[in-house]
Amino acid sequence: MKDLEQALELEVSQQKRFNATQPKVWLRNECVRVGLAETLCTYVMMVFGLGSVAQVVTGQGAFGEYLSINLGFGLGVAMGVHVGGKVSGAHMNAAVSFTMCMFGRLSWKMLPLYIFAQLLGSFLAAGTIYGVYYDAIHEYCGGNLTVTGELATAGIFATYPAPYLSLMGGFIDQVLGTALLLLCLMALSDQRNKPAAAGTEPIAVGLLVLLIGISMGRNSGYAINPTRDIAPRLFTAVAGWGMDVFR
């Protein structure tokens, strides 16, 4: 009888330890988990990226230069992949999500959720950076929020074409940059070719974005991402820059 009691106590003790080590799944709905993960990883990527632009612009070169922005977005993308890669895939880009649907890697019914999450994360990141750099932005431009000119600050949040760039030139620039991004992303995950080594995917994707920024950023700021650009542009439209951000 005593042996039986000891056996039962041992079983209960082991069960408690087993339960204590099991991860708790707070969000069982897949759509909710994916949506939150995609929002969060996009937010992380955009906070680091936009923050690097804000520091360079308002610091007038004293706190970084163009390469700082390339590094900020590249490393921001890498951190974003770490944050949401295992849950949503960390697309952080509507062009990537659309391509995944085209190749059958993502259900079409999930595309609106991904796009909404990316827009939300980008919008919140723009608001965050505006709040963090509010004093610096207004000190830099004297409180006059403009889209063009020597003291323009709208470019902190969204991308704008260089003065010399034609409409067709801008179109070609963005199509080529986005195509190269998608081509290389597919190559990095192609198990039948030379994919990135396991565990190195985030830094590999970050280096890819850094490479595109270094080589294709002159014309229009290498947005290569519709949701990265549209949401912050909407934010600037309502935050004081006005409708000029769409011209």
If the chain, 247 residues long, is cut into consecutive pieces of 10 residues, what is the mean pLDDT of each piece? 53 54 66 95 98 95 92 97 94 96 95 97 98 96 93 95 94 96 94 92 96 94 94 96 94
CATH superfamily of 27-246: Glycerol uptake facilitator protein. (1.20.1080.10)
CA 118 to chain centre: 8
pTM of the model: 0.87
Please say whether the dihedral angle defined by the alpha carbons of residues 74, 240, 38 and 51, taken in this order, is positive or negative: positive
Q: Is the dihedral of CA 137, 226, 220, 49 positive or negative?
A: positive
Is the four-CA dihedral 215, 219, 225, 230 of positive or negative sign? positive
Q: Judge whether 126 and 50 are in contact, CB under 8 Å.
A: yes
pLDDT at 247: 87
Q: What is the pLDDT of residue 111?
A: 97
First to last CA, the chain: 85
- Contact 120/198 with Cβ under 8 angstroms? no
* pLDDT value for 8: 47
Residue type at 67? Answer: L
Backbone angles phi, psi at 189, to 5 degrees: -110, 5
pLDDT value at position 25? 58
Measuring CA to CA, how many Å separate 60 from each of 1, 63, 70? Answer: 82, 7, 17
| Residue 39: half-sphere exposure toward Cβ, Cα within 13 Å | 13
